[in-house]
Structure 1
């Protein structure tokens, strides 16, 4: 039993790696976007053509978006998304996306260990890897954008439901107005019939009085 527990412990990847592998399954498009951004960054660095700062910023933004998603995944898995853990997630994402050996494992969700980006500082050249505070800000912004998108979707859903209720109410009002018009028409007809009947009653009473004299 102890040996089985040890094997299981060794087979289970660290929390940051587990979260990244989950990202590959749940946020496949975002992982591909990171790989694409990293490839563009390498291309600009290697060729010397293009906006390097823009490419580096795009790559960092892609990482921040995934780190924000990883925080939720870690919470779901019972792990605390501390700054240190999220920093390890970001570092491994950076490294895997820029590594020919690990890129495929990243996309397939098959990473087995955390990675350190050898030579990544040189790759970034004049745009160094952001400090922890900047990364935290980018992650926070990504979370806020995600929350804003969720709020927008919820608001739109509520607005659609309210619109449907309004249309149903307006149809009910229209039906009620039609019913009221029909009722008023019936009432006018009945009044006319009543007036005619009362006139006949009056005429009949006069005739009867004459006959009784």
Structure 2
């Protein structure tokens, strides 16, 4: 293991962590608006000395790699903070709201995570999927979801609803209101009561 990799494993000092977060937040803002932004553009946007940015991240790829990992950690932390083992309906709403906040705040990095093969991000996303699968099983057992529903299909529909809601979040939508819409659409659907009777 190289010295650089050994250093990367050590916890960052509080002031260093603040600087790294400042750099990553600025990079997210710039890249969300212009995914082709150069390292120089990213460094200028941070508000910290350009030498500091280059000392922390030697290349654009190194910065993107850390941004991807950071967003994945925020994503996994948001799911854990929602207490996914709480009462299923409460947990479903809180997980949805928390995830929407992360997907809105880190939209560039979250979209990149799905395609760049980042090992830590892949592991964290797999853990979140497993947590979601447990939550949906508990929701079914508690009667929140129908007993005959296909849970895998239902989760994929849920992910699609979150993806669409996150687009509205990026455009200024409120995460709590969007979470309510996602959960309501998932549980009630779009059909009118008794709508099939008139078919």
- Normalising by the residue count of structure 1, what TM-score does the alignment of the two structures yield? 0.32
- Normalising by the residue count of structure 2, what TM-score does the alignment of the two structures yield? 0.34
From the two aligned structures, give the one with the greater helix fraction: 1
